[in-house]
Amino acid sequence: MKSLIALITSLLLLGCDRPAAPPDLQYGSAPATAAPLTYRLAIHPLHNPQKLAAAYQPLIDHLNRQLTGVRIELEASRDYQAYEQKFRARAPEMLLPNPWQTLESIKVGYRVIAMAGNAEDFKGIFIVRKDSGIKTPADLKGKVVSYPSPTALAACIMPQYFLHQNGIDVMKDIQNVYVGSQESSIMNAYLGQSAAAATWPPPWRLFEKDHPEQAAQLQVIWETPSLLNNSLMVRDDVPAAISEKIRQILLDLATVPEGRAILAGMATARFHAADNATYDQVRDYVATFEKAVRPVENK
């Protein structure tokens, strides 16, 4: 009896040491699909990150429905300086920068595939309280003017050049404060912390929509001539087939109801065909500004 028990035990132990049978092979008619590439679209600080996502996530979703093999993700930045550090490090694959940032991005290997919005919408505007008493640029002497950033083209460079052309020594006659975002610039004027706020039309339209009571106490008092609008750029290692597909999707947005709704949410009329050479006139404008007023950046 003992020998029988020992035999059974040894057989059970042998069974425990036996390697497991390999899993059944799975067969299918379609090849395995690779995970899609992920590209980040970094948009300069048009709005705070929450509002930026609300305005631009529908575009990202639309691109992802149209593209195969690549997925786009939206990337916001806390301020202009953080955004400029990103593209100078060539971190995002795609950019939506302002025209001055477009020139800087070209230097590090990005290229323009479209212009976002109509050129006539790209202009600086000055916002003041209706009870401010400000009537002419000369009334700003000795007072504070707020801007998002010293590198904001429509919302700072162009307004400062406007003041220069209207007899204001920008570096001596007024106090320039850079407050980080378009909405902050407008709010500084509303709260009386600045005599005038510089911004540009899309953030002002959004402010009127989101804060109608505050906007009713403000007015646009001056506007600059127009220049060129923001660009859509891709890094030079993005395959040409992918960048061309993205470009075509953008150009087609205004032709379909879904696309027009997306553009309306972005306060953008449409995307236009553009390339690096389109922005040469911005280079000339900035050179004139730097000679007459100040360096765009303190390097």
For 17-48, give one letter per residue: b (16+ CB within 10 A) or e: eeeeeeeeeeeeeeeeeeeeeebebbbbbbbe
Kindly compute the dihedral angle of the four CA atoms of residues 218, 222, 225, 227, in this order, to the nearest 10 degrees: -30
**CATH 3.40.190.10 residue window(s) in the chain:** 37-119+228-292, 125-223
**Residue range 264-287, pLDDT digits in tens:** 999 899 999 999 999 999 999 999
CATH number of 37-119+228-292: 3.40.190.10
| Homologous superfamily of the 125-223 domain (CATH) | Periplasmic binding protein-like II (3.40.190.10)
Nearby residues of 287 by Cβ (< 8 Å), 6 or more positions away: none
Residue 56 near residue 202, CB atoms below 8 Å: no
6: pLDDT strictly greater than 70 = no
Q: Looking at the DSSP assignment, which residues form a beta bridge with residue 273?
A: 114
Mean pLDDT for the chain overall: 89
* Residue 33, pLDDT score: 55
**Residue range 211-261, pLDDT digits in tens:** 999 999 999 999 999 999 999 999 999 999 999 999 999 999 999 999 999
* Residue 48, pLDDT score: 82
Residue 272 near residue 260, CB atoms below 8 Å: no
**Residue range 252-269, pLDDT digits in tens:** 999 999 999 999 999 899
Top pLDDT among 19 and 276 is at 276
